[in-house]
Amino acid sequence: MAPVTDDALGAGAPVPLEGYATREVAELLGLSACQVRSYVRGRFLDPARGPRGAFRFSPQDLLFLRTAKGLLTAHVGPRRVRRVLARLREQLPDARRFAGLRITAEGGRIVADDGELRWQPESGQTVFDFERSEIAPKMAPVVRHAFARPSRAEHAEELAAEDWYQRGCELEPDFASEAREAYEKAVESDPSHADAHVNLGRLFHEAGDPRGAERHYRRALECRPGDTTAAFNLGVALEDLGRLHEAVEAYERVLKTDPSYEDAHYNAGRLYERLGDGTAALQHLKSYRKLIRARPH
């Protein structure tokens, strides 16, 4: 997936002495005023108050919100964005460090880089550059050779779909191409293997092929109609294809199975607003806010 960046804050952007108003923050970062206020309600930000009680956001607040916007742009769900931001606030108590922070979504994991250290905010685990830049390229020929060479068990009988699926999961962090081939072998062996279809869909999506992703997400839902991950990911793929009505249907399908799925409410509300259905948008955004407020802080 592409790096999570946002250049909405230019070096020459004027900074009012009293801070930024909610509307100004929303316009600068391409967020809605509702999104900006939600980070205050979630206690991620504690902006100053103007003479009439209106929020006044500092440049440090904008840096924090820029990080949030970048994650959302990279199709990281709001629920996970909040989890990542909460961990980053713990790990970076000095808000000014957000200024030089770079965050990327790499093969399903989120990695923060402050120029000196790379780590996964959700786990706190350090990520060493040699994991991919040195070891992975050197190991690639070995992995491909081992992948192509059948084991003794395979000489006796074909690997089961679950074996191929597990092999794909092991390969995926560093060898996406081989992982994809393993998942494809899994669904060849068992066309109803929903998990393999979901992972294939994600790999197609991350490779910039939302149509291929759609095909596998739909196949996963045929095999397992109540799969909320497949339905939600299908909605994201359909959004990328510009098919907003179908995307809304996918998010609604998620909510029929799990009415507490926060990200599905958020995405459905956002799309209904774009489609001109203010009533449905308000209903979903109210549900989203209610679920967020109900979570323990």
Looking at residue 126, the DSSP 8-state letter turns out to be B
- State residue 108's pLDDT score: 66
φ, ψ at 110 (rounded to 5°): -105, 130
Looking at the predicted structure, is the pLDDT value of residue 8 above 80? no
- How far apart CA 46 and CA 172 sit, in angstroms, is 40
Q: How far is CA 295 from CA 79, 83, 131, 259, in A?
A: 11, 12, 36, 15
Q: What is the mean pLDDT of residues 77-106?
A: 74
Q: Which two tokens stand for residue 117?
A: 């250290």
Residue labelled with tokens 């095909």: 215
- How far apart CA 218 and CA 225 sit, in angstroms, is 9
* Cβ proximity of 119 and 112 under 8 Å: yes
Local confidence band at 145 (pLDDT 50, 70, 90 cut-offs): very low
- Percent with pLDDT over 90 in the chain: 27
* Cβ proximity of 8 and 30 under 8 Å: yes
Looking at the predicted structure, is the pLDDT value of residue 138 above 80? no
- State residue 115's pLDDT score: 65
Question: How are beta strands 48-49 and 118-119 bridged, if at all?
Answer: unpaired
Pick from 72, 26, 16: nearest CA to 48? 16
**Angle, helix 244-257 to helix 262-274, in steps of 10 degrees:** 150
Ranges of H-type helices in the chain = 22-29, 33-41, 59-73, 78-91, 130, 136-148, 152-156, 161-171, 176-189, 194-206, 210-223, 228-240, 244-257, 262-274, 278-294
- State residue 218's pLDDT score: 97
Q: What is the mean pLDDT of residues 39-55?
A: 81
- State residue 40's pLDDT score: 84
Dihedral sign for Cα 26, 27, 32, 33, please.
positive
Looking at the predicted structure, is the pLDDT value of residue 172 above 90? no
Q: What is the mean pLDDT of residues 156-184?
A: 76
Q: Which residue has the higher pLDDT, 222 or 134?
A: 222
Q: Which two tokens stand for residue 64?
A: 């924090």
Q: What is the mean pLDDT of residues 239-249?
A: 94
- State residue 157's pLDDT score: 38
Q: What does CATH list as the number for 3-97?
A: 1.10.1660.10
- State residue 250's pLDDT score: 96
* Cβ proximity of 90 and 33 under 8 Å: no
Q: What is the mean pLDDT of residues 19-42?
A: 82
